[in-house]
A and B are shown apart, each in its own frame.
Chain A
Amino acid sequence: MNPRTSRLLTRCFLTALAYVATTWLAVWLLRHALSDAAPLLRALVALLPVIPIALVIRTLVRMVLAGDELQQRIDLQAIAIAAVAVSLGTLTLSWLLTAAVVTFPARQAMVWVFPFLWIVYGFARAWAARRYR
């Protein structure tokens, strides 16, 4: 792994930690300190985790653009597979929820879409990379 990619990965990891910290802080504030606060303030606090997430996305985009032609092809295949898998998964869950076959809080389901996308991307990228070995 070249030094630039290593630095980007480290930055990505630290930003992910910041995301966890801001999420915890936002949830704690909303439950304990701002339960009676104005809706605008509650909205701003609730959206605090968006800042580190935006930095993570920026770092990931820079990593993809820094890759060579084969690495970008692998990334393209992986993100396509992840997009299809997550789309199908969310559609399937919505149909099951509509049919009342499963009961799942929609709020919790939405929170899991983003991490599920990147988990599937990770597995898909490993699979795609193996095809070129």
Chain B
Amino acid sequence: MNSRMRELRESRGWSQGELATRLGVSRQTINAIETGKYDPSLPLAFGMAAEFTLPIEAIFFPEATR
């Protein structure tokens, strides 16, 4: 699963640590999601969508469509 997380996070001037604190997860989790090494759970994905005020489909997409 790919994502625009890094792009969206940097556009808001947030560090990985800051985004991790906002979402209640570790910085390691944010980094793993941004590098595509880990796919978030549904609750976490919805939490990210709420933080970025975007639908989930605007943040995450399958690898084939990138």
Interface residues of A (CB under 8 A from B): 2, 67-71, 73, 129, 131-133
8 A Cβ contacts from B4-61 to A:
24-26, 28-29, 31-32, 35, 37-38, 40-41, 44
Q: Which residues of B contact A70 (CB under 8 A)?
A: 25-26, 28-29, 32, 38
Please state if B25 and A69 are interface contacts (CB–CB under 8 Å).
yes
CA distance A69 to B39 in the complex (A): 10
Q: Which residues of A contact B24 (CB under 8 A)?
A: 68
Binding site of B, secondary structure by majority: helix, strand, loop or mixed? loop
The interface residues of chain A, by DSSP majority, are classed as: loop
**Which B positions have Cβ atoms within 8 angstroms of A?**
24-26, 28-29, 31-32, 35, 37-38, 40-41, 44
Contacts of A71 in B (CB 8 A): 26, 28-29
Instruction: Please report the C-alpha to C-alpha distance between residue A70 and residue B33 in the assembled complex, in whole angstroms.
Output: 10
Q: Which residue of B lies closest to A1 (CB)?
A: B26
Cα(A133)–Cα(B31), bound, Å: 7
